[in-house]
Amino acid sequence: MVYPQAAHLVREYFQATNWSLDNHYHALTSPSRNLLDFPIPPGLHLSLSHRPTAQFASSLALSTLVPSALPTYPATPAPVLGPPPSQLLSGQLTYVFSSAPLGLTSTKQAAEGEDRIKFRDVVQSFRVGELPSRPELRDEVRPTWLAGKRVEKTDFLLYGRLYAPSPRLDALYIHRLTPTLQTLVSLISVPSPLPTPQLTWQLPDDPSAPPAAPNPPPSSERLSELEIKLMQDTGRWSGEYSYAVGDSMWGARGLYNFGKWGGGQAAGTGSGDDEASRERVVDEEEEMSTGLKGRWSAGGEVFFSAQERSGGVSTAVRFSTLPESTNSPHLPPGALSQPPTTITATLNPIMGQLSTAYSVGVSNDTALASRFDFNLYSYDADLTFGGEWFQRRKRKALTEVAKAEMPLPSSFDAFGREQEGAAVGGAVEDTKTAPSSLTLAPTPAINGAEEDEVIGVLKLRASTNTDLALLWEGRLGDFLISAGIVADLRLASQKGGRMSPIRSVGLGVQYWG
Amino acid sequence: MSEDNKELIARGIELGKTVVHYGWVPLILFIGWNSSNPKPNLIKLISPLA
């Protein structure tokens, strides 16, 4: 699924403030979930986003033809707060403010360099997380001394989403307390509906007065929800402690990373010392019988509500290969020293649900995953397969674009940059060197187009007792397009083949200005 | 705790919920406008179509 711009900005905020979302218990199975549980929003969706400043964004989303009973995958028993979405037309207005300046990425074709969208970053896809490290504050918010006084700044993010026609508000506030501690307050607010309007000259028992609603809506207490969450990450350990006000639910999650790397070093900075330490990490890590080198993580969660007299427990273990394996400097580009792989096993002892998943990136553009779910009490089993394939822009097309955009009289170096002598002096024009320098640059990287080769992704999911789903997402002109279909082949065999196997179809269009 | 205090707290919570519900987005807009340099046009800030 292509992230909505607001969700993408929240992820960018975490990245800009050096907070890893991968090193948490809730993200333990995300590599396989991204391949197997991708949602296909039914109906027609249009989203327009605007970035007036680097810290602020607004977005308008319109939806139509959305069925009233939204099919969710996997089926979740969680209640849907607020009234159901309108089939005719519903809208959402979103505002995001971040204290950390975020990139002004845009889907416009004319956008260049850093502003140009990187498709892989905005789409939910398979990715082996980075090596965990102790998070640090941004340089701009580190404590400083000014005129003998200690000046402290903190990073925070404000997020608000208004719904129409229903009067619902989603609010999120993120505040960085210390380098390793962060709090999240999330709120869903639906005010209690107003009483039926009554004309002032009508008495309450007037028979001409409109009848009261046959089913009064539930009280506002059930419609609103407030959750306070504390997240801690020390690299080695990470924890989440939460409290939901609506049902007085307390929760705790923890994750521990096994391995021998030191805390406090940021992975992927590229300096010489880091290279040496990363090599050492690879050598010291455990080796599986299949020959994969990687690291192990284990975690668990506990939830308890005294008010509802209910609780939940789950535990999980994960093996994942080291991210360096995808970008080894000793190998030619595109070659993998070992395929990026993640293997997870989760167990919910109360419900007896056991789930094992295996996901692997078989090439730079292709990833596959499988998952086996089994219930120890009911013996229900489910096998799910899924995969994704990224489409790339052809090199030939790039070269043609490059030649069309390059003025011939100037001379260029191997990276497509205009040479200083020709650009500044202008008096000496060595026209003989221009053709040769052009031939030296078969695929010049213009305006970040080299990194932006990925233009689309195709995703497929098939399961033994649920749906068959197909999703294509990609760039089309200035827009991000998502088109998906969910089918249940068992329906086609029922009632003599008169039932359509298609359960839902969705189309989404996004424009980030 | 007396019934009066309970009533007072319940009314306070209701008021707080109402204030947050209608004041949250204006607060984001104000902070976004106030912390920008130079200050953008308010219409540009509010409207996603601007």
Cβ-based contacts of A52 with chain B (< 8 Å):
36, 40, 44-45, 50
Cβ-based contacts of A512 with chain B (< 8 Å):
none
The yes-or-no verdict on residue A431 having pLDDT over 80 is no
Number of inter-chain CB pairs under 8 A, A vs B: 63
Write the pLDDT tens digit of every residue in A226-284: 999 999 999 999 999 999 998 889 999 999 999 866 444 444 333 444 444 444 444 44
B23's torsion region: left (phi>0), alpha (psi -120 to 50) or beta?
Answer: alpha
Q: Do B50 and A52 touch (CB under 8 A)?
A: yes
What residues form DSSP beta bridges with A315?
Answer: A300, A347
Q: Is A408 helix (H, G, I), strand (E, B) or coil?
A: coil
Can you tell me the distance from the alpha carbon of A14 to that of B2, in angstroms, rounded to the nearest whole number? 45
B7 vs chain A: nearest CA distance in angstroms?
Answer: 16
Q: Do B36 and A55 touch (CB under 8 A)?
A: yes
B31 vs chain A: nearest CA distance in angstroms?
Answer: 8
**pLDDT score, position A502:** 86
Q: Do A53 and B40 touch (CB under 8 A)?
A: yes
User: A84 falls in which pLDDT band (50, 70, 90)?
Assistant: low
Q: Which range of residues forms the domain containing residue B20?
A: 3-46
Q: Do B32 and A95 touch (CB under 8 A)?
A: yes
Measured CA distances, B17 to A493, B14, B22 (Å):
52, 5, 9
Cβ-based contacts of A53 with chain B (< 8 Å):
32, 36, 40
Q: Do B18 and A191 touch (CB under 8 A)?
A: yes
In this structure, how many other beta carbons lie within 10 angstroms of the beta carbon of residue A196?
10
Cβ-based contacts of B50 with chain A (< 8 Å):
50, 52
Q: What residues of chain A, 31 to 60, have a C-beta less than 8 Å from chain B?
A: 48-50, 52-53, 55-56, 58-60
Higher pLDDT pick, A329 / A83: A83
The yes-or-no verdict on residue A341 having pLDDT over 70 is yes
User: Mean per-residue pLDDT for A10-25?
Assistant: 91
Interacting residues of A223 by C-beta distance below 8 A, sequence separation 6+: A81, A82, A188, A190, A192
Interacting residues of A256 by C-beta distance below 8 A, sequence separation 6+: A236, A237, A297, A298, A299
Can you tell me the distance from the alpha carbon of A459 to that of A484, in angstroms, rounded to the nearest whole number? 9
Chain B nearest-CA residue for A171: B24
Chain A nearest-CA residue for B39: A53
Q: Would an 8 Å CB–CB cutoff place A160 in contact with chain B?
A: yes
| Least confident among A76-80, A322-326, A461-465 | A76-80
DSSP assignments along A312-359, one per residue:
EEEEEEEEEE-GGGGS-TTS-TT--SS--EEEEEEEETTTTEEEEEEE
Cβ-based contacts of A174 with chain B (< 8 Å):
none
Say which of A55, A93, A160 has its CB closest to residue B24.
Answer: A160
Higher pLDDT pick, A26 / A513: A26
B2 vs chain A: nearest CA distance in angstroms?
Answer: 22
Can you tell me the distance from the alpha carbon of A481 to that of A34, in angstroms, rounded to the nearest whole number? 18
Q: Would an 8 Å CB–CB cutoff place A93 in contact with chain B?
A: yes
Cβ-based contacts of B24 with chain A (< 8 Å):
160, 169, 171
| Least confident among A242-246, A348-352, A431-435 | A431-435
| Contact in structure between A28 and A489 (CB atoms under 8 Å) | no
Q: How many domains does chain B have?
A: 1
Output the CA torsion sign for A473, A479, A17, A328.
positive
Higher pLDDT pick, A80 / A371: A371
Q: Would an 8 Å CB–CB cutoff place B24 in contact with chain A?
A: yes
The yes-or-no verdict on residue A321 having pLDDT over 70 is yes
Q: Do B17 and A224 touch (CB under 8 A)?
A: yes
Which residue of A140, A155, A189, A512 to mutate against B (max B Cβ within 10 Å)?
A189
User: A75 falls in which pLDDT band (50, 70, 90)?
Assistant: low
